[in-house]
Structure 1
């Protein structure tokens, strides 16, 4: 079978050579489907799993179609968050350099005056957030009438963040015959309706509906009481011991508390706030990428488009609000075929959410438990879909983990009632009557030792054998 190459898809030699420098030789499925249509100038509506290379799927043909000799704005890439826009900018600069394409960012949270001054360099490609771009357009410092291609990355998030008005306003300012590309891991009816309204002769690139998360990604969850979630998080991170972990939280008011508690137990953590300025967010992300922070505590703002190299673990400290958010959170790991682990920490009342996601996404989400330094599956603790038979329900199977590996202490409240206690019965302490009756000194000292050992004495003293 002949291997598909970027050159075979129509990518120019300078771009193909640049890709080879970074070890990218064979295009992913979404790239193989999107690139030829994009090079032809057709509109594209692409849905693909996170971590499958959607950025290069639209960026390579966009860069190739730009004429570097024309000092006018020809391409526009819109992203819902500052982090995703900065990440796209880095990729555009890296590959645009080989073609002589000038790229600039117009991102909210940065100094607008400085961005306007840089527009005098006449970039051919702009990457930005809709609000900032519309703001500069309103100031008449940016003209869109020469734009031939508009890309909207993570388009569903754009809708959720209320960016629809800005997006429609921006599209009205571009060429009537411009090319339009929408890309995301999830495409809802609202997006399809807008695509039908704005696109002409569109090409739809889809994925298997039953496989919306990477096949190299493992999904598990642990159950504990709400008050024990922080400690369970600590034990999970200590056990799996990844180089980096993203911890997702629903309520942004809790981010500071979780960050502080993780730092207190010796797990260096940084926080990513949606309302922080661009510089603070960029610094936190850079420290996380460099390994100075082991944990990144964030809301769903970090779930969109972030590509953290060698991210092997994400943890949902709070379950996502729906299956789409679960897909995007889990998609931060297990990217481009690499193995990854998505862990959720839920209370007994939240366990039904895992079953719901399992059914909606067609994935297996395994229930695990921590006990006595081991990670194991409960007797009937697996939820999900058996891919071999297509059936779903509770199953049992061996864990496949080395159950002798240390994982630290665990919350055992739910099993302690069925386990015999290992605490020795409290011996009867010596009494004054014993002393008066002539009890030998050695016997009285032995009684005192036993009494002291059972009143919260240190572990080393409890394990110390009594003297004869």
Structure 2
């Protein structure tokens, strides 16, 4: 393997700019993909999210741009606005001043974008819907575009934008270069590649591994009603710098956000249909560590690259393995460590087992016990609650027994106080014969007390 960018064919100027930003050694996917893209080959690159795929295609296409040709020459398609703008920022960091880059995303003013297109940006990065709209308006010229890159192509299919991508590719020249990048490659992606690509080179970095190597996968089991409290305890125990909490239903986001804030965890929600200003504000606060948790759906969080994100929490289980992979890919990027946690009910255990098989990774169960995270086992899986309830149930009987003992001891105490020994109370008044018959004095007293109130009879039997 080649250990530096220049050995891969990257120009000295670009390698120097990479070094300025602390990037000196290419990642495995960059080592595989960069020479192929520089050759002009069609490429399918499969690699885990967060392994440096962006630079794997961005460096060679930036190097192959002709600054003398005043026309758009390269096009990158991304599934979300956030990912598109991240690619724009990355390109601006390394490209030469005379080479322009433009982001074309939905939600922004189309007139402003048309004005910018008149300046002939050499590189355009956009979402499929807006790019297709500008092509239809004949504002984005495709006849000089020599390379089309489709990033996170599997997510584009999930969003239903595959038709737009097909039409964009068809509007370009037949000899254009195509590069597909994705964490997963399914049948639909291979079918599109078969139609549109010429003898594609397939790059697969650890094809048996679909999530980053630095990730740890855990799950916790609880009742549905206890999920919020379990989430709170998990965050308190692991104490991540910040974490994304994934939910499946948009209607539950606001309620969960309010509960977490009430519990003292600084939380904001990211809605898929939120306007551009609101999304930008929330993400800015999250990136600046002003928020601990970001609650989002899969659609709202697509393409997010948050520096310092060391935990992803599935408050609701992912709908399938691909969604699990993309959620997990928000953390542990570029070789960093990350933690992926799922909160499931007893009935949802089978989902975790399925994901574990599909992604080829062990998802370990953990429990919260005595204020700590522990591994379940023969001792630790026993609930401490029953052991605590036993003495609580015995306590009411104990006072009753004590009371009975005290009451039983009162005659003896009274007898001791009056100087009469318990051993011979009956002997003072004639006593009671050892055979159980009453003495003459007792029979006389009973005759006189006949018909008297019970309390008086009882009083008469007390020792004198």
Do the two structures share a fold, i.e. TM-score over 0.5? Answer: yes
Cα pair 1:79 1:154 within 8 Å, conserved: yes
Paired residue for 1:339?
A: 337
Match of 1:320 in 2: 318
Question: Aligned equivalents of 2:333 and 2:296: distance in 1?
Answer: 19
SS of 1:300's equivalent in the other structure is coil
Q: Deviations over 1:396-453 (max 9, x none)?
A: xxx9xxxxxxxxxxxx99652355546482475999xx9xx9xxxxxxxxxxxxxxxx
Distance 1:421 1:301 in 2: 49
Residue by residue, what CA displacement relative to the aligned partner does 1:255-303 show, whole Å, maximum 9, x if unpaired? 1111111111111112111111222212211111111111111111255
Q: In structure 2, how many angstroms separate the alpha carbons of the residues matched to 1:314 and 1:422? A: 41
| Equivalent of residue 234 in structure 2, options 236, 247, 271 | 236
Aligned equivalent of 2:65 = 66
Question: What displacement does 1:380 show?
Answer: 6.7
Aligned to 1:90: 89
Evaluate the alpha carbon distance shift between residue 99 and residue 206 of structure 1 in structure 2; reply closer, same or farther with a 3 A threshold. farther
Supply the distance in 2 between the matched residues of 1:316 and 1:151 (Cα, whole angstroms): 31
Equivalences for 1:134-145 in 2 at 5 Å?
134-145=132-143
- Cross-structure match for 2:453: none
Contact 2:77 2:151 in 1 (8 A): yes
Alignment of 1:134-283 (within 5 A): 134-283=132-281
Aligned length: 402
Say whether 1:19 aligns with 2:18. Answer: yes
How far, CA to CA, are the matches of 2:365 and 2:131 in structure 1?
Answer: 45
Could you say what secondary structure the match of 2:299 adopts? helix
Shift in CA distance, 380/299, structure 1 to aligned 2, threshold 3 Å: farther
Unaligned 5+ runs, structure 1: 382-398, 400-411, 438-468
Q: Deviations over 1:193-252 (max 9, x none)?
A: 110110012110013333111221100000001111111111111111111101011111
Kept in 2, the 8 Å contact 1:312–1:339? The answer is yes
TM-score normalised by the chain length of structure 1: 0.82
User: d(CA) in 1 for partners of 2:321 and 2:391?
Assistant: 43
CA contact (8 A) 1:31 1:57 kept: yes
The one of 395, 399, 402 equivalent to 1:425 is 395
Residues 270 and 301 in structure 2, CA contact (< 8 A), matched pair in contact too: no
Q: Distance in 1 between matches of 2:378 and 2:161?
A: 45
Q: Which residue of 1 aligns with 2:328?
A: 330
Of 385, 403, 414, 1:416 maps to: 385
**Residue deviations 1:107-130 (CA, integer Å, cap 9, x gap):** 011121221122222111111101
Range that drifts further, 35-44 or 81-90: 81-90
Q: Of 291, 296, 299, which aligns to 1:298?
A: 296
Change in Cα spacing, 1:302 to 1:21, as seen in structure 2 (3 Å) is: farther
Describe the SS at the equivalent of 1:250. coil
Note if contact 2:28-2:205 (Cα within 8 Å) is conserved in structure 1.
no
Aligned to 1:351: 349
Q: Is the CA contact (8 Å cut-off) linking 2:237 and 2:372 kept in structure 1?
A: no
Correspondence for 2:432: none
Local SS of the residue matching 1:121: coil
Closer/same/farther in 2, CA of residues 413 and 139 from structure 1, 3 Å limit: farther
Q: Is the 8 A contact 1:311 1:332 kept in 2?
A: yes
Residue in 2 aligned with 1:39?
38
Cα distance in 1 between the residues matched to 2:104 and 2:68: 22
CA contact (8 A) 1:68 1:99 kept: no
Structure number with greater Rg is 2
Q: Distance in 1 between matches of 2:81 and 2:170?
A: 23
Q: Please state how far the C-alpha of 1:89 moved relative to its aligned partner.
A: 1.2
Q: TM-score, normalised by structure 2?
A: 0.82
* In 1: Cα distance, 2:373 partner to 2:352 partner: 19
Q: Does the 8 Å contact 1:50/1:328 carry over to 2?
A: yes
Distance 1:366 1:157 in 2: 27
Could you list the runs of 5+ residues in structure 2 that have no partner in the other structure?
411-464
Structure 1 contact 130–166 (Cα < 8 Å) conserved: yes
Shift in alpha-carbon separation, 1:317–1:234, aligned structure 2, 3 A: same
The answer to whether the Cα contact below 8 Å between 1:108 and 1:278 also exists between their aligned partners in 2 is no
SS of corresponding position for 1:194? helix
* Cα-Cα RMSD: 2.2
Q: Relative to structure 2, which stretch is displaced further, 183-192 or 200-209?
A: 200-209
Asked if the contact 1:35–1:60 (Cα under 8 Å) also holds between the matched residues in 2, the reply is yes
Please, which of 119, 124, 127 is the counterpart of residue 125 of structure 2?
127
* Contact 2:328–2:340 (Cα < 8 Å) also in 1: yes
Kindly provide the CA deviation profile for residues 72-108 of structure 1, in whole angstroms up to 9, marking residues without a partner as x: 0001100111111111111111112x36320001101
* Conserved? CA contact 1:43–1:203, under 8 Å: yes
Q: Is the 8 A contact 1:14 1:99 kept in 2?
A: no
Q: What is the aligned counterpart of 1:309 among 302, 307, 310? A: 307
